[in-house]
Amino acid sequence: MSQFIDTSPRNFGDKHEDGTPILNRYSTVLTNGYDYPGAQAMLYAEGIKNKEDMVKKPQVGIASVWWEGNPCNSHLLELGNKVKAAVDKQGFIGWQFNTIGVSDAVTQGNEGMRFSLQSREIIADSIETVTVAQHHDANISIPGCDKNMPGCVMAMLRHNRPSIMIYGGSIQPGKSKLTGGDLSISSCFESAGALMYGKINEETMDDIVRHACPGPGGCGGMYTANTMASGLEVMGLTLPGSSSFPAGSPAKFRECENAAEAIRVCLEKDIKPRDLVTKESLENALVLTAALGGSTNSVLHFLAISHTADLNLTIDDFQRVADKTPILANIKPFGKYMMNDLYEIGGIPSVCKFLISAGLLNGTLMTVTGKTLEQNVANAPTLEPTQDIIRPLSDPIQPKGPIRILYGSLAPGGAVAKITGKEGETFTGKARVFDREEQLIHAFTQGDVKPTENTVLVIRYEGPAGGPGMPEQLKSSALLIGANLKNVALITDGRYSGASHGFIVGHITPEAQRGGPIAIVKDGDVITIDAVNNKLDLHLSDQEIAQRLSEWKQPPLRVNRGTLGKYCRLVGDASHGAVTDLF
């Protein structure tokens, strides 16, 4: 069923009286005739100069997720200004507006993180609201941080008007003054674990924190922001190179100018988001995500995008694609390089060119340029065999993609792991249970996590409803890496950052708040994570599990009012994208 409001636009192909094509198919409802004189008066007040411009010029909404306080987003207003100037040069009318964001790094490990995932829904709601209410004919969205990209695309799919996304770009790597090595945001969290366990001193810690983020842009590894930007580029929703152009680079500024030309193409050819977001283009996104070793958050976001587009992507599709797609990218969090390094050898267009020639990507699909994906990347540099960032198919980092969809007695509705192989592929240990992440963090700070045998740390009541907000567990997972605790695994009904790595499992469904088996795990229970057979099992009999579940009592929701109160009542489970409109 369609999820957007039809405001009765003019038909594609209709012409003005002078024979020129009608490109202002939606705004013409307001601007032609005198049914809405108040609307026209307001638009004149905002700068429309004359009757001809009012009647004929398309109105393009330019939605940036700009706000200060986060380097991923703080430069997006500047990009929006460049887009507006380019849109005006096309003879269109550009209206800038913005929406909210949440910094995943600022909120990591604290109560603010509960607002992160639900910001995706607010971003989608707000861009849809302005676009449809103001009768915009097209939209150009400019996101930066993790939840921004899927939020913008979900809005596009709801209003389904010609649209383009411009990713804000990646941050430059930081440089340690003490060691000279490259730094990223994950360096800070992993170093905190090293500090707790005496592996570094405070001087080194201060150096890392001070120099990890040298300027604007999204986190520079193949974390969630770059994973989603890359996937959406291969789906045809951005201009070629958008996901790998560095923030603040001349290439990013040129992209802003070129986006205005592309939105004209989309208006003239009536290319809309639902024409581009198809089961085939989602398949392309999943292949690229697997090859790049992308974030587990991509599972949530691509499922949500599929749901919004009325498609039927499932978590099992991620496993199917991972099984046939090798990891080729030697990029952080578990590799050596950053997105800026990939940009230097051709960026995502060169990767797409390579994967198309290898038969892993479908290059025939249409994009916002009016050309196919293969046509878009035809002139991209060919990856040199001497470079070490993208491995050849004959020598992959791992023969299968890192994302594993696990089922079993502990996750009857599914769970998501990111297994690169260097941690091993199976793990069995005794449970140590925490009902919130902060309980585990407190145990770390007290030096109370010193396992002498294989241990599975269990963090529960952190799911979409129970958290609420399904907070990321980067702080916990990074502490394990920084402390070099090799005989410890971590599982949760919450989720992880794209920067997380190690033997970790998230998205356990059903979540504890809704009576999943994770709610009845006790300290000392034996748990097996098996990434070979894709199993997550609690070593209890069916009878014992049923008995414990019958004795379990659902705790009250932690939040009853405000945006989180609404969210935890509406949100669906992680295996269906944690969307709020599963009706």
More confident residue, 7 or 429: 429
Residue whose C-alpha is closest to residue 141's, from 90, 79, 191: 79
Q: Specify burial of residue 370 (Cβ count, 10 A radius: 0-12, 13-18, 19+).
A: middle
Percent of the chain with pLDDT over 90: 83
Q: Which of 119, 186, 191, 497 is catalytic?
A: 497
pLDDT value of residue 1 = 39
Rounded to whole angstroms, the Cα distance separating 380 from 383 reads 9
Per-residue pLDDT of 42-69, as tens digits, reads 999 999 999 999 999 999 999 999 999 9
Per-residue pLDDT of 334-355, as tens digits, reads 789 999 999 999 999 999 999 9
Query: How does residue 6 score in pLDDT terms, banded at 50, 70 and 90?
Result: low
Q: How is residue 74 written in tokens?
A: 């703080």
Asked whether residue 582 carries a pLDDT value surpassing 90, the answer given is no
pLDDT value of residue 419 = 83
Q: Which CATH code fits 403-576?
A: 3.50.30.80
Of 3.30.1330.60, 3.40.50.2300, 3.40.1190.20, 3.40.190.10, the CATH number of 28-172+215-377 is 3.40.50.2300
Rounded to whole angstroms, the Cα distance separating 198 from 368 reads 52
pTM for the full predicted model:
0.95
Percent of the chain with pLDDT over 70: 98
Lowest-pLDDT range of 25-29, 304-308, 500-504, 515-519:
500-504
pLDDT value of residue 276 = 98
Q: How is residue 473 written in tokens?
A: 């567990």
pLDDT value of residue 8 = 67
If one counts every other C-beta atom within 10 angstroms of the C-beta of residue 81, the result is 15
Domain boundaries, the chain: 28-172+215-377, 174-211, 403-576
Stretch 564-573: mean pLDDT: 96
pLDDT value of residue 80 = 98
Asked whether residue 2 carries a pLDDT value surpassing 50, the answer given is no
Same fold, 28-172+215-377 and 403-576: no
Per-residue pLDDT of 78-107, as tens digits, reads 999 999 999 999 999 999 999 999 999 999
- Provide Rg for the chain, Cα atoms: 24
Query: How does residue 4 score in pLDDT terms, banded at 50, 70 and 90?
Result: low
Asked whether residue 450 carries a pLDDT value surpassing 90, the answer given is no
Rounded to whole angstroms, the Cα distance separating 451 from 434 reads 15
Per-residue pLDDT of 180-227, as tens digits, reads 888 988 888 888 878 887 889 999 999 999 999 999 999 999 999 999
pLDDT value of residue 254 = 98
pLDDT, mean over the chain:
94
Asked whether residue 33 carries a pLDDT value surpassing 80, the answer given is yes
Asked whether residue 303 carries a pLDDT value surpassing 50, the answer given is yes
- Say whether 27 is catalytic: no
